[in-house]
Chain A
């Protein structure tokens, strides 16, 4: 099905960064079908239809998953790893977000199968542009693998 109920899955524990990201996507008019999850545990329940998301139809895949690298308990790398290891979810593009280009997990993230890696800029204009660009790319330009 081309028309999935959730197009963007945002996994971001920081409320402020979450709000800024959603605002930027909204500006680009691409935030309609967005789900914001605030920790890694929920992030793993959602795509596999477990826990809180038991009733979810897992065949409806988000077009893109944006995941923050640094989260308590289950971090972005773990989320990415499980998504990419599972047949059901491994074709979903995953964009890793982080505050710093210095992060030691950058290389690991790519090795595990991150589709893109974005450093969140301090400047709001830049941040908005980056988020909008990646939203437009993954939602509108990228041909999803079915």
Chain B
């Protein structure tokens, strides 16, 4: 082999080497790119893994929440079931007690009706013999008055007085029993006018020197006739029990508080001992003898019955020898009723 052949071979070899180097470089670059790609993909995988972990945690949390809620639901359902059971028990109890109340009401109604028809016939049938006692005593006086001496006439007078008293008693009792049967019809009542009416009626049948004070009384919503009866009884009492004082003074007042209208009638008369206050409103209950102050003991019972029918209250305050005040209150009702 000659020189030329050798240099040609070298040249080819160099080219070959250059090419191979070039190839290597190319490969190296590709490797770098591939490595970068790999690194990026690894990063992505890690990112996703991290996201998955977070998502799993979230899921776990949500599951826990769901479980909690289910547990709460179970408890709430148990509570509901218990409450339903209780409600059932209570409604059974209510039905039972309603039945009892119904029966009681029926019995009370029957009793009341019995009592009312009883007191009605007693009052009615008592009047007939009373009229005879009174009438015959009068006839005796008219026909034989000249034959009777003073004592005889006095005795006859006692018979007549007592018959008269019993007549009043029966009338009061009738009024009282009538109240049980009658319903009430409410309207707006001008108390100032009502008191003037009552006073003019009282003044026609009774002479008294009491000073009676009242002004600008609040209007009431009540049964006019029944309220007039209340005022008549309270004012008659005030006049009667202050009649022995030198300057009898009677005051009528009204106040409004806590949805209640309260009226009071006070006098400076004989008063009463507070330890007997609970006897004042009882039927036939009296704190004075007939000689001191005449009366049947029904007036205040009538007052109480009327006020109770209006869902109101009655009470009294007093001191022996220093006057008395009688109060009654009415619940405040819409004036449009």
Contact = CB atoms under 8 A, between A and B. Distances in A.
Interface in A71-114: 99-100, 102-103
Contacts of A23: 135, 139
Contacts of A120: 127, 131
Contacts of B131: 16-17, 20, 99, 120-122, 124, 127
B174 interface: yes
Contacts, number: 56
B140 to A, nearest CB: 11
B120 A122 contact: no
Contacts of A127: 131, 135
Interface residues of A, number: 16
Nearest to B177: A102
B130 interface: yes
Contacts of A14: 128, 132
A55 interface: no
A102 B134 contact: no
A28 B167 CA distance: 25
A122 B124 contact: no
B123 interface: yes
A103 B125 CA distance: 11
B135 A102 contact: no
A122 B178 contact: no
A101 to B, nearest CB: 9
A122 B163 contact: yes
Given A102-B174, A102-B178, A124 B134 contact: yes
A99 B124 contact: yes
A109 to B, nearest CB: 15
Task: Determine chain A's interface SS by DSSP, over half rule.
Answer: loop
Nearest to A98: B124
A23 B140 CA distance: 12
A100 B117 CA distance: 13
Contacts of B124: 99-100, 102-103
Nearest to B174: A102
A125 B167 contact: no
A122 B130 contact: yes
Interface residues of B, number: 23
A123 interface: yes
Given A16-B131, A102-B174, A123 B136 contact: no
A109 B106 CA distance: 32
Contacts of A121: 131
Contacts of B170: 122
Contact of A20 (B120, B127, B135, B163): B135
Interface string A52-86: 00000000000000000000000000000000000
A17 B31 CA distance: 146
B164 interface: yes
Contacts of B167: 122-123
A124 B138 contact: yes
Contacts of A20: 131-132, 135
A47 B170 CA distance: 36
B174 A99 contact: no
Nearest to A103: B124
A121 to B, nearest CB: 8
A49 B134 CA distance: 37
Q: Which of the listed residues A14, A17, A122, A125 has the most CB atoms from chain B within 10 Å of its own CB?
A: A122
Contacts of B139: 23, 124
Contacts of A16: 128-129, 131-132, 135-136
B38 to A, nearest CB: 117
Interface in A1-46: 14, 16-17, 20, 23
B164 A122 contact: yes
Interface of A: 14, 16-17, 20, 23, 99-100, 102-103, 120-125, 127
Q: Which 3 A-B pairs have the closest CB atoms?
A: A122-B167, A16-B132, A124-B138
29 contacts: A14-B128, A14-B132, A16-B132, A16-B135, A17-B128, A17-B131, A17-B132, A20-B131, A20-B132, A99-B125, A99-B131, A100-B120, A100-B127, A100-B174, A102-B120, A102-B124, A102-B174, A102-B178, A120-B127, A121-B131, A122-B130, A122-B131, A122-B164, A122-B166, A122-B167, A123-B164, A124-B131, A124-B138, A125-B138
